[in-house]
Amino acid sequence: MNTGIEGVAVSEAVRYAEQGDVAVIWLANPPVNGLGDAVRRGISAGLHRAALSPGVKAIVLAGAGKVFCGGADIRQFNTPAATARPMLREVIRQIEQSSKPVVAAIHGVALGGGLELALGCHYRIVAAEASLGLTEVNLGLVPGGGGTQRLPRLIGSGPALELIQSGKQVRGSQALALGLADALIDGEVVASGIAFARRMAAQAGPHPVIGAKPPADAAGLDFVALQAAVNSKACNALAQRTAIVCVQAATQLAFDEGLDFERSLFDELVAGPESKALRHLFFAEREAAKLEGQAAGTLPRAIASVAILGAGTMGAGIAMAFANARMPVVLYEREQAALDRGMDMIRRNYAVTVSKGSLSAQQMQERLDRIRPTLDVHLLADADLVIEAVFEDMVVKQAVFRQLDAICKPGAILATNTSRLSIDDIAAATGRPQDVIGLHFFSPANVMKLLEVVRGDATSDEVIASCMKMAQGIGKIPVLVRVCEGFVGNRMLTGYWREAGFLLEEGASPSQIDAAMKRFGFAMGPLTMADLAGMDINWATRKRLAPTRAAHLRYSKVADRICELGRYGQKTSAGYYRYEPGSRTPIADPVVDALIVECAREAGIVRREISDAEIVERCVLALVNEGARIVQEGIAQRASDVDVVYVNGYGFPAWRGGPMFHAETMGLDVVLGKIEQLHATRGEHWTPAPLLVQRVAAGQARF
C-alpha cells in the first residue's frame, strides 16, 4: 500500500494536503506515529485548516509509513509533554464537532490512543490485515482518551469489555464484523479513504458521533463477578479490574461524566508503581535486542535451516520453538531409543496444545513435519545453525564441538545451550571460535520467551547479530551477555539460593520461604523452583566449583545433604518437599525439617523465628547486589537487561519491573544502607557492589 507522505507541515510531526475536495491529515511521527504532543497539535491544526477551507468537503486521517497509529507516545508519560494542550480528548472533540465528515483510514495498526483517535472520527475504514485494539492493560493502564466509553457504545459492552480487559487485537476483517469499522480498504489506503469520504460527504444529515449515543447496555454482564474472576497473580490485575470499572461506568454515566471518570482512573494508574514497572519492561525488552559497540556495516547471516544435537527435554523444546516459527529442523540423536523418546515428547506437547483448542490437528502435523529426526550425524552438515543440547559437562561438550567442527559447512553458526559453562572453553575445541556462540534457552524452550545469547571472546559481531535476529524471528526475547559462571540469570540465582539456605538453617521452613517470596510476587518460591529444575543439576555445579570456594565463607550444606539422600526434586518425588505420584504439589516433609535442624546444629547456629519481611529482603537484595556487579563487569550490556532476564526467565514479578528497577524504586541509597547493614552483621557475602556504592556517592537514582 502506498502511504507516502505529501502536503505541508502543520507541526513537526503532521502534514496537511488537499486532494480536490478532501483534506488529508498525515500522522508522520515514526516509527509508529505515536500521539505525542506535536502530533496532537498538528492534527488540531490540520482540522482547523480544513474547516476554514471552502473547497474541502471531507477530511481523511492517515498514517505515514507502515502504520496508522500505534498509540500514545509512552516515553512522554509522567512528563509535561503528556498533558500539553491539546489533549487527545480535545482533539477528538474537535473531530466530533466538525460539520465535514472525518474518516480514519487505518492500515498497519491502530492501537491504544490510535484506536481512540479513530473512534472519535465519524467513520473508520480498515485494511483487512490491520490490527486494532485498546492494549493499555498490557502496560498496567486503561485507555485515557475515551476508549472505555466509546467502544461499549459502538459494539456493545460485552465485546468491548473483552477487548479492553484482555488487551487483545483484532484484524480489520474482524473489526468490520464487530461493527468497529465501516468498510474494508480496497486498494491504496489514502485513495480508498478519499473515495469513502466523498461518498459520506454526499450524504445528507449529520455524521455519526459515538459520544452522542446513550450509555451502553449492561445486559448479561455481572461486573462484581467479573472483578472477582480477575487472576490476582496477573501482572496487570489492577489495570484489568480498573478496565471493568470503566466499562461499567459506560453503562451508567452520561458521556462526559464517563470521560472524566475514565481519565481520573487513568491518571491514578499512570502515576502508580505497577504501570511504571510494566512500561520500564516494555522499553527494556526492546532495548535488550540492540547491540552496543557493534562494528559498522555488520550484516547478519541468513539462517534458513537449523539442526539440534540432542533430543532430550531441552533439545526437543528447542526443535519445537523453531518448528513453531515455520523453520525446518533436523533433530539428531546417537541412539534410536533416545530419538524416539524425544519425538514422543514433542508429540505429547503438541497434543496437549491441540486438546486445549490452541492448535488444530492439521497445524500440529504441519509442525511435526518440519522436524526431521535422524541418527545420521552427517545430516547436520548443511545446517546454517547447529545447536548442541547435550548433558552439562565440559568434556562432553568439547567432544561434540570437535565433531561439529569437522562436519559442519564453513560459515555455519555453532551454538551451545549451556546454562553455565564457558563458551570460550567450548569454542577452543574448534578451529572456528568466531562462529561459536551460546544460546541459553529456558525450559520449556518451546514456551519460555527468554534467550540468553552468550558471546565468547572470539565470537564475531556477525554471528551475534545473526543470533539476536534469529531469536526475535522465533518469538524469543534475546539478551546479549558475556561469559562468566552462570552468565546473568544463574549467577544471580546462586546468591538467591544461598540466602534461602541460610534462612533455613536460621529458623525458616521451606514452605515459609516459598510463601513469602510468592506473596512478594514471584511465580514460585526458590525451593519449589529448585525442586522443579532438578536439585542434582546445581549439586553437580557446586561440586565442580567446590575447589574455588573460600574456606572462611559460610556455606549451607542443606541442599547437598538433601541430594545425598537421592532426593533431586520432582523427578524423584522428593527434594525440599515430597510429591505424590503424578502430582507437582509440594508437601512439607519432616525428613527435611529434621535435616535442616541437624545442619544448623553442626554449623553452631541457634535457630530463631524469621519474619517474612527478612526473607524477602535478604533474597531480593542478594539478586540486586549481584546484578549490580554483573552490570559493572559488563556481563550484561545494561541494568535493564538484568530485569528482562529475571522477569522473563526466573519469575520475578513484572509489576515490580525486575530486581534492578525495584531497587531504583526503593531508592538506591536505601538499598545500599540495607546491604551495608547486612554486611556488618552477616559478613563478606554481603560486600556492597562497587557500582551501587558509586551511584549512591554520585547522588544517582538509577543504575
Q: Which residues are catalytic?
A: 116, 136
The identity of residue 450, as a single letter, is: L
CA atoms within 13 A on the CB side of 151: 35
**Contact of 280 with 657, CB cutoff 8 Å:** yes
Q: Which residues pair with 451 in a beta bridge?
A: 441, 478
User: Is beta strand 14-19 parallel, antiparallel or unpaired with respect to 8-11?
Assistant: antiparallel
**Contact of 192 with 163, CB cutoff 8 Å:** no
**Contact of 498 with 556, CB cutoff 8 Å:** yes
Find where cell 559442519 sits: 408
Neighbours of 657 (CB within 10 A): 26
Phi and psi at residue 665, in whole multiples of 5°? -65, -40
Three-state SS at 513? helix
The identity of residue 86, as a single letter, is: P
307 CB-near residues (< 8 Å, 6+ apart): 329, 330, 331, 332, 379, 380, 383, 385, 386, 387
**Contact of 269 with 141, CB cutoff 8 Å:** yes
User: Is beta strand 371-374 parallel, antiparallel or unpaired with respect to 22-27?
Assistant: unpaired
**Rounded CA gap, 13 and 19, in Å?**
20
Q: What is the dihedral of CA 321, 325, 330, 333, to 10 degrees?
A: 10
Name the nearest CA neighbour of 660 among 619, 697, 628: 628
